[in-house]
Chain A
């Protein structure tokens, strides 16, 4: 009687009826599957050429062969793209992200070098509004490099991220992490969320 979903997602009963439609679309045809894997193929070939550090036909050919091999042997379920991007919001997000990463780094550095050892930490569940795997993943990654928090666990089915927060003194500190996570989610949805996600963050 194995719990096939692993630990965190073993919530068999919770909300499965509601979410099923969003997370498990009808099985696509072969042609559609190949089309959905095309972005991954392109990214793998570009990566191969970047790693060699030059652009040549030989690199393109070996990259294409390797990309097919990698995609065959390390199969990943196709990512559902939202079909919508907004480069301006993405640039705004990147700027904000780099700024916050700088603050976070020096903050943690100061905490490490000068801080007291017995700080109070928290594990905070944040309910996101998105249903998209990409936005969920990027929110977790971005928050991990922003001040005060990193993603400790994710409940994909319910779109909940559990953040570990350093040095939360009181309820205000906990609330600040929640607000930061929702703000990050909002920026990412504006950059590449679906229109349904876009409505839900308003």
Chain B
């Protein structure tokens, strides 16, 4: 078996792993109970699945030009998938699109509550000073 055959087998296996992880991410999107849990599927298996496929492409192509194009693909996927998850998660949380009955601990609820009431109090204070100034 030549080196090319070995590399072909490795990249084929990597594509299979990538396909499996991407499928599992898709199944997770359907099976997980609420939006916040679904974002776990959208981050980890999805990113590793893409990494596996990108490595497979790099092994098959074996050219600098392809490698240089693949690097930004990986970089952006790793950096931006968590940010996308955070944006979606934050929006879901703040619009109450999640199942509170599933949570064991929720440290965010109290802080959001306090931040909101602080902001409201601050606004009331400014209203009052405005009035005082005018009087």
Given A145-B78, A152-B89: 17 more A-B contacts, CB < 8 Å: A13-B118, A101-B44, A101-B51, A105-B47, A108-B45, A109-B20, A111-B28, A111-B40, A113-B27, A113-B31, A118-B102, A125-B108, A150-B89, A152-B108, A162-B107, A164-B36, A170-B104
Complex CA–CA separation, A108 to B49 (angstroms): 12
Which residues 91-132 in A have Cβ within 8 Å of B in the complex?
Answer: 101-102, 104-113, 115, 117-125
Interface size on A, residues (CB 8 A): 58
Can you sample 16 A-B contacts with CB below 8 Å? Answer: A3-B119, A7-B116, A53-B69, A108-B25, A109-B24, A112-B24, A112-B27, A121-B36, A121-B103, A125-B111, A141-B82, A144-B81, A145-B81, A151-B86, A164-B36, A166-B37
In the docked arrangement, what's the CA distance between A152 and B93, Å? 8
Cβ-defined contact, B28 with A108, below 8 A: yes
Is B71 interfacial (CB 8 A cutoff)?
yes
CB distance from B93 to the nearest CB of A (A): 6
Indicate if A38 sits at the interface (CB-CB under 8 A). Answer: no
Q: Which residues of B lie under 8 Å from residue A3 when comparing CB positions?
A: 119, 123
A2 nearest CB neighbor, chain B only: B123
Decide: A122 and B66 in contact? CB cutoff 8 A: no
Pick the contact of A145 from B82, B93, B114 — CB < 8 Å?
Answer: B82
- CB-CB under 8 A from B27, the residues of chain A are 112-113
Complex contacts, B41 vs chain A, CB 8 Å: 108, 112
Report if A121-B72 is in contact (Cβ < 8 Å); known contacts: A53-B66, A105-B44, A151-B82.
no
**A: which residues have CB within 8 A of B?**
1, 3, 7-14, 47, 49-51, 53-54, 101-102, 104-113, 115, 117-125, 140-141, 144-145, 147, 150-155, 160, 162, 164, 166, 168-170, 173-174
Q: How many B residues are at the interface, by size bracket?
A: 35 or more
Query: Which residue on chain A has the smallest CB distance to residue B51?
Result: A101
B102 to chain A, nearest CB (A): 5
Chain B residue nearest in CB terms to A173? B104
**Which of B's residues lie within 8 Å of A, judged by CB?**
20-21, 24-25, 27-28, 31-33, 36-37, 39-41, 43-45, 47-49, 51, 65-66, 68-69, 71-72, 78-79, 81-83, 85-86, 89-90, 93-94, 102-109, 111-112, 114-116, 118-119, 122-123, 126-127
Listed from nearest, the 9 A-B pairs whose CB atoms lie closest are A112-B28, A144-B82, A109-B24, A125-B107, A105-B48, A10-B119, A1-B123, A122-B105, A105-B45
The distance from the CB of B60 to the nearest CB of chain A, in whole angstroms, is: 16
| Residue in contact with A109 in the complex, picked from B21, B37, B111, CB distance below 8 Å | B21
Given contacts A50-B68, A120-B103, A123-B106, whether A109 and B112 have CB atoms under 8 Å apart is no
Residues of A within 8 A of B104 (CB): 120-122, 168-170, 173-174
Min CB distance B82 to A, Å, is 3
Tell whether, in the assembled complex, residue A150 and residue B85 are in contact, meaning their CB atoms are under 8 Å apart. yes
Q: A53-B66, A102-B48, A153-B108 in contact; A7/B89 too (CB < 8 A)?
A: no
By a CB distance below 8 angstroms, the chain A residues around B31 are 112-113, 115, 117
A153 CA to B68 CA in the complex, in Å?
33
Distance between Cα atoms of A9 and B36 in the complex (Å):
21
